[in-house]
Amino acid sequence: MEVQNCNQLNRQLKGVCNDSPPLKSGRKLACDSRYRNIIRQLDGMFEQLLHQPDKDLKADFDRLLDSVMEHIGSENCYMGMVNFPQAVQHCLHHQFICTKMAELHHRFSRRLAVLPEELGYIRLLWMEHIHVHDRVFEDFLAS
């Protein structure tokens, strides 16, 4: 994917939490501050890589991982507390995202090149997670 196409796609996705279609219950998907924080951090790193490809973003990525792990830990706990029937699939998607992020973390730690498109891919994984997996969880909680 070209940097320009990835940048354009990510610009289109900005604000997607506010523009999401209603849930089955008629409510809008709740994009809480944890999601906004994760997406905002990814957006910032994406922009930095576009304009300063040699900048060391390891510390930024470490902060992002802290945010992600806090979010996933609490969400997994909540799903268990309410006996969410699709918790296994939801947790597996968390694990998939974490694996992809761990690959980038390894490269940031070794000061190897990371392309903006790779951060864009992580962002797209999160957006899909929010709009597919979390939508199902919110519908469950609303019923």
**Tens digit of pLDDT for each residue in 125-142?**
999 999 899 999 999 999
Residue 34 lies in a domain: no
Residue 39 lies in a domain: no
Residue 25 lies in a domain: no
Say which residue, 106 or 35, is predicted with more confidence. 106
Q: How confident is the model at residue 11 (pLDDT cuts 50, 70, 90)?
A: very low
Instruction: Provide the domain limits for residue 75.
Output: 56-143
Residue 23 lies in a domain: no
Query: What pLDDT does 23 receive?
Result: 45
Helix (H) or strand (E) holding 74: helix 58-81
In this structure, what token pair is assigned to residue 96?
């998939």
Residue 44 lies in a domain: no
Largest CA distance in the chain: 49
Residue 7 lies in a domain: no
Q: Based on the structure, what is the number of domains in the chain?
A: 1
CA distances, 10 to each of 34, 39, 71, 101, 125 (Å): 18, 10, 22, 18, 12
Coil, helix or strand at residue 17: coil
Residue 42 lies in a domain: no
In this structure, what token pair is assigned to residue 90?
């939801």
